[in-house]
């Protein structure tokens, strides 16, 4: 029996140090940046305040008038970001300090200036409410340097401090989350995460570790890795996460295109679970080592290119994962002694078989052409063999495809050997077709009205493979169906609860309708 870490268990990260009362700081939750490009638009619903990027405005008077107007309704953070810290402020430091004093007099809750600058010194001497910030757009700060920087910043006695480096690996996220959580009781509030694709989980989790606020995009992102405000609030529910939130996610490279968070998170919310599903961009699968417990990471969906790595990391694996040499799911299971291990699964079997079984009453003896010889193709062939079908691998290169077919014990041949009527089903396995402009890997003449064309790729949703098949009268199965089928099994493995097919399908439709693809 699988023992999952409890969905409301004890925190693995110290969060004893309560953050300053929101009445002290006013700003909270997710801040929406205000720029010249969006200043006439409505502020996203649910934002806990706004950040006026004063450095991006050409006119001092225009931005100060905007501060006055916004302060009537919102808590306002004013940021005249310096050129050296990725901003556009090009006036003197005296003028920058003077601007900030004017903004505070007009109702701004706080001003953001960089640690060590002349403007910061002037403002601190004047008693203004300052967020003292530090950024590194190139790399990550080390733990010892972070401790030293923190001491320097806190000695200035600002209202809050903000440290934002750039993540290069998963451990960088962990360092920043632990930094936020370790704030002493009477110290200034800490806002901390890391920029970039690697840093996205930290942006989402920082509030749960005690940060009073984080940042979202309001239109085009103003910093690398920013997610839209509404996505932060509604999809990831950042204001509802806490020190006991269990974490699941999808690990891959790339992973920014993944629709899995959009599929799992609404169902986690509907089930009333204190859990969230995040995208983990990894350069190497080994980045996960040392991060499972600190992130409270209990389960992972695994995608390209790490499925073989996931199987190798698993302490034990199901028969399907072992047979095809790949795991697309890892589950962290506790033992009776308080330790834990990883179990590997391959729910791609379900993703392949369920859509076909919904169209064919019997798969036994059905001829299936599988185009490709990578991990996805291997998994598809293993699933088909388990169901009694007769798969054949079709490859571009005999040198790479032939040995795979031999290892799996199935026939093989070159792609140009595919002919109409020679098979009941044609399955396109990644990585072919991953880009919107990619041509179909097979000739249009392969399809006819008796063929079922199945594309395992869900992005783009309408690849040329399916368009060509449909134009020839073939029945088609898109990658969304596979994504839903395998995802439902993952959801149950992660939570011990069942989500419905209808819910997952609706979640995907909503995501695509919101412009995700």
* 516 prior amide bond cis, ω within 30: no
Alpha-carbon distance of 123 to 126, in angstroms, equals 5
Alpha-carbon distance of 285 to 308, in angstroms, equals 10
pLDDT at 431: 60
Q: How much is the pTM?
A: 0.92
Alpha helices (H) along 182-277: 200-205, 229-230, 260-270
Query: Residue 12: pLDDT band by 50, 70, 90 thresholds?
Result: very low
Active site residues: 307
Query: Residue 376: pLDDT band by 50, 70, 90 thresholds?
Result: confident
Alpha-carbon distance of 495 to 271, in angstroms, equals 10
For the segment 377-398, the average pLDDT, to the nearest whole number, is: 95
Query: Residue 190: pLDDT band by 50, 70, 90 thresholds?
Result: very high
Alpha-carbon distance of 73 to 89, in angstroms, equals 26
Is-contact 245 271, C-beta < 8 A?
Answer: no
For the segment 97-115, the average pLDDT, to the nearest whole number, is: 97
Query: Residue 513: pLDDT band by 50, 70, 90 thresholds?
Result: confident
pLDDT at 78: 98
Of the ranges 4-18, 374-388, 467-481, which one carries the lowest mean pLDDT score?
4-18
Which residues, at least 6 apart from 516, have a Cβ–Cβ distance to it below 8 Å?
A: 259, 262
pLDDT at 517: 59
Of the ranges 15-29, 39-53, 86-100, 115-129, which one carries the lowest mean pLDDT score?
15-29
Query: Among 24, 17, 76, which residue's Cα sits nearest to residue 50?
Result: 76
Residue 266 has pLDDT above 60, yes or no: yes
Residue 46 has pLDDT above 70, yes or no: yes
For the segment 272-283, the average pLDDT, to the nearest whole number, is: 98
pLDDT at 324: 86
Average pLDDT, the chain: 92
Alpha-carbon distance of 128 to 102, in angstroms, equals 10
Neighbours of 83 (CB within 10 A): 10
The model's pLDDT over 341-369, given as tens digits with 9 standing for 90+, comes to 999 999 999 999 999 999 998 999 999 99
Query: Among 156, 129, 151, 173, which residue's Cα sits nearest to residue 27?
Result: 129
The model's pLDDT over 191-236, given as tens digits with 9 standing for 90+, comes to 999 999 999 999 999 999 999 999 999 999 999 999 999 999 999 9
Long-range contacts for 391-394 (Cβ within 8 Å, ≥24 apart)? 392/367, 392/368, 392/423, 394/369, 394/370, 394/418, 394/442
Place of tokens 């209990």: 298
For the segment 476-503, the average pLDDT, to the nearest whole number, is: 97
Alpha helices (H) along 156-197: 170-181
pLDDT at 86: 85
Neighbours of 400 (CB within 10 A): 11
Query: Among 398, 389, 402, which residue's Cα sits nearest to residue 357?
Result: 389
Alpha-carbon distance of 14 to 371, in angstroms, equals 50
Which strands, in side-by-side order, build the sheet including 340-345?
A: 275-281, 246-252, 297-302, 329-334, 340-345, 316-317
pLDDT at 496: 97
Residue 121 has pLDDT above 60, yes or no: yes
Which tokens belong to 401? 């495809």
Is-contact 28 74, C-beta < 8 A?
Answer: no
Alpha-carbon distance of 166 to 203, in angstroms, equals 12
Which strands, in side-by-side order, build the sheet including 49-53?
A: 189-192, 160-164, 130-135, 110-114, 76-79, 49-53, 29-34, 213-215
pLDDT at 15: 36
Query: Residue 16: pLDDT band by 50, 70, 90 thresholds?
Result: very low
β-pairing verdict for 297-302 and 329-334: antiparallel
Q: CA angle at residue 230 from 218 to 287, to 5 degrees?
A: 95
Residue 1 has pLDDT above 90, yes or no: no
Alpha-carbon distance of 48 to 469, in angstroms, equals 49
Residue 283 has pLDDT above 90, yes or no: yes
Query: Residue 516: pLDDT band by 50, 70, 90 thresholds?
Result: low
Please report, in angstroms and rounded to a whole number, the separation of the first and last CA atoms in the chain.
Answer: 37
Residue 68 has pLDDT above 80, yes or no: yes
Residue 20 has pLDDT above 50, yes or no: no
pLDDT at 21: 46
The model's pLDDT over 306-346, given as tens digits with 9 standing for 90+, comes to 999 999 999 999 999 998 888 999 999 988 888 999 999 99
């Amino acid at each position: 029996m699988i023992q999952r870490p409890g969905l409301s268990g004890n925190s693995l990260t110290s969060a004893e140090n309560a953050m300053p009362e929101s009445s002290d700081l006013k700003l909270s939750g997710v801040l929406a940046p205000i720029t010249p490009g969006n200043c006439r638009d409505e502020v996203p619903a649910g934002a806990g305040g706004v950040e006026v990027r004063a450095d991006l405005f050409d006119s001092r008077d225009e931005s100060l008038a905007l501060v006055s107007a916004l302060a009537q309704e919102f808590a306002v953070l004013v940021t005249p970001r310096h050129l050296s810290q990725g901003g556009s402020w090009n006036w003197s430091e005296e003028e920058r300090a003077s601007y900030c004093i004017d903004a505070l007099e007009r109702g701004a809750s706080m001003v953001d200036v960089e640690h060590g600058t002349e403007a910061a010194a002037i403002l601190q001497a004047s008693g203004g409410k300052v967020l003292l910030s530090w950024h590194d757009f190139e790399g990550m700060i080390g733990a010892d340097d972070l401790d030293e920087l923190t001491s320097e910043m806190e000695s200035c006695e600002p209202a809050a401090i903000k440290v934002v480096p750039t993540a290069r690996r998963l451990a960088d996220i962990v360092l920043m989350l632990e930094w936020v959580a370790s704030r002493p009781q009477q110290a200034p509030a800490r806002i901390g995460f890391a920029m970039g694709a690697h840093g996205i989980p930290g942006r989402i989790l920082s509030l749960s570790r005690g940060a009073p606020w984080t940042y979202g995009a309001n239109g085009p992102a103003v910093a690398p890795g920013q997610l839209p405000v509404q996505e932060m609030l509604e999809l990831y529910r950042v204001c509802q996460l806490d020190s006991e939130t269990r974490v699941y996610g999808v690990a891959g490279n790339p992973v920014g295109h993944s629709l899995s968070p959009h599929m799992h998170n609404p169902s986690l919310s509907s089930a009333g679970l204190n859990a969230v599903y995040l995208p983990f961009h990894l350069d190497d699968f080994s980045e996960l080592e040392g991060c499972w417990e600190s992130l409270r990471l209990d389960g992972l969906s695994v995608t390209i290119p790490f499925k073989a790595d996931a199987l190798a990391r698993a302490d034990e694996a199901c028969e399907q994962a072992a047979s095809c040499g790949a795991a697309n799911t890892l589950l962290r299971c506790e033992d009776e002694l308080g330790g834990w291990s990883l179990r590997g699964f391959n729910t791609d079997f379900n993703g392949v078989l369920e859509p076909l079984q919904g169209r064919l009453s019997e798969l036994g003896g059905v001829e299936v052409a599988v185009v490709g010889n990578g991990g996805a193709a291997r998994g598809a062939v293993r699933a088909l063999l388990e169901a009694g079908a007769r798969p054949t691998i079709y490859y571009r290169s005999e040198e790479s495809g032939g040995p795979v077919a031999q290892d799996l014990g199935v026939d093989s041949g070159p792609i140009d050997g595919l002919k109409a009527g020679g098979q009941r089903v044609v399955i396109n396995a990644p990585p072919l077709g991953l880009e919107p402009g990619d041509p179909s890997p097979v000739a249009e003449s392969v399809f006819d009205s008796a063929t079922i064309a199945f594309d395992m790729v869900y992005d783009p949703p309408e690849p040329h493979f399916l368009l060509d098949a449909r134009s020839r009268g073939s029945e088609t199965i898109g990658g969304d169906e596979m994504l839903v089928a395998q995802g439902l099994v993952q959801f149950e493995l992660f939570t011990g609860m069942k989500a419905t097919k209808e819910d997952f399908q609706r979640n995907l439709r909503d995501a695509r309708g919101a412009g995700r693809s």
